[in-house]
Structures are given as structure tokens and as C-alpha cells.
Amino acid sequence: MPVLPGAEPYRHEGGEVGVLLCHGFTGSPQSMRPWAEFLAARGLTVSLPLLPGHGTRWQDMSLTTWHDWYAEVDRALHELTERCARVFVMGLSMGGALTLRLAARHGDAVSGIVLVNPGNKVHGLAAKALPVIRHLVPSVPGITKDIAKPDVDEVGYTRVPLHAAHSLRRFFQVVDTELPQVTSPVLLLHSREDHVVPPADSARVLGRISSTDVEEIVLEQSYHVATLDHDAERIFEESWAFVTRLAPDLVGEKGIASGG
């Protein structure tokens, strides 16, 4: 099945600092591509994989589970740790949950994480009924394109496959139990108005992780897909400042720290 235009994975070979970017549920690398290119332009090695079942058609996603999505980012992290001296992981929505699990399981191999509107729970009255409903109804209307900025589109599915949604719910439960194992430095940015993931999810993440180096930033002008919204540049700049603070010896050479 061909990949949707714009949903292709992205890779850039840069310096000794690597960044793994994780996109969200039913989304694609397109939602993270400007962020990836921003970091690549500053000399970082960047990996932005396409999660299995994503970026083609929603029926393909019905054949995958969270184990497949996590395995892909775990593989990408391994590649970066083999290539780079320091590695950071950054994620949007479900990509934030993937990021948290990587940090929980890989410890010091993850130098820091950046979370944008991280998901922690499948909300709504139908969530608990997913184990049954998924066998009766294959999909429901999609959750992409929650963007305040006009004329900006998101490449993702217009339908949510319920088998995958059920797996997502299970994944969030797994990650929630592992949050106390997260000790990496954390930068968490969340939108004040988000129609997909409520601020309560970010609050729970912050309340359960064991990290001591934590910064929280509220995004006032964006909805859920903040990486394509009014606050996108701020997210990019704050993540770059986060990396330069934690790895100054590696990004401060050859003029890279100035953004050249």
C-alpha cells in the first residue's frame, strides 16, 4: 500500500546529538516534519519514523497493535544510540506516551525528553466498551486536524479503527504504570485548549514521573496538533534550548549552537 503524500518517514545525518521524533495515533510524520527539519538545520542527527499501520489507509492500522508501534520507535532509538553520543526523544500525543516508555525502559540512554500534549488515557464514555464495540463497529470518525491555525492540514486518517483504539487504551495503561521509572529531564508543553487530549493527561504525567529536572509550558494559541499550529516555532525553539542546555559540549562546537 503506497504511503500518503507527506507521510513519509524522515532521516537526517548530522552530528553527535541525535533526536528521535514520535508522531501520534492515526497521524503521520507530516505533523512532526517541520520540527524535524528545524532540528536537522541546527546540526542534529534526526530520525522521524512512520509507525506501522499509519500513513496509508485506516484498514492497515486495524492489523497493528501498540506492540508494533513501540517496536518501531525502540528500533529507531537503538539506531541512534549506536550512531550518536547523546540521544533525545520527543513526541506528540500518543508519540508522547511512546517517548515516556522509551525513557522508562532505557534510562540513561535517553538524555532528555520533550512531550507535546502527551496522551495518558482514552477518554469518553465509549472507552470502556471498546473491547466489545470493536467487534461490531470497525471504525469511527477521525481525530486529526485539531489545529487552530487556519488553512493548515494534517496528513492522517479520517477514521479511527477501533481495534487499534482498543490497543491504544491498553498501551496507555501500560505506560501509566511505568511512569515512576522515568528519570530523564523533561520538557512538557501542552495546549490550554485541546479537543483530543485534555490537560489532565499532562498533569497526571507530571505527577507520576520521577524526574527532577522538569519544565512545563502552557501553549496559549494552539489546539492538539501544536507542532503545526500557532505555537509551533515556540515548541521548536524551546526544544532546541533544552538540547543545548543538556548537551552543550556537543552542540556548541563549529557554530552549531548559534543555529548555523
172 labelled binding-site residue? no
Residue 189 CA, distance from chain mean position: 12
- The answer to whether residue 222 is catalytic is no
- DSSP state at residue 110: -
User: Does 194 participate in catalysis according to the annotation?
Assistant: yes
Catalytic: which of 23, 54, 190, 224? 224
- Which residue out of 146, 194, 229, 231 is catalytically annotated? 194
Read out DSSP for 216-253? EEEESS--S-GGGSTTHHHHHHHHHHHHHHH-HHHHSS
Helix axes 94-106, 162-178, angle to 10 degrees: 40
The length of the chain in residues reads 260
Distance CA 256, CA 252 (A): 6
Does residue 94 have a known ligand-binding role? yes
- Mind spelling out the 3-state secondary structure of 112-152? EEEEECCCCCCCCCCHHHHHHHCCCCCEEECCCCCCCCCCC
User: In whole angstroms, what is the distance from residue 54 CA to residue 27 CA?
Assistant: 7
Catalytic member of 28, 93, 202, 239:
93
The reply to whether 93 belongs to the active site is: yes
How many whole angstroms separate alpha carbon 145 and alpha carbon 98? 21
Identity of residue 189: L
Cα distance between residue 105 and residue 177, in whole Å? 12
CA–CA dist 251, 44 (Å, integer): 8
Q: Which residues are known binding-site members for substrate?
A: 25, 94
Which amino acids are annotated catalytic?
93, 194, 224
Q: Which residues are known binding-site members?
A: 25, 94
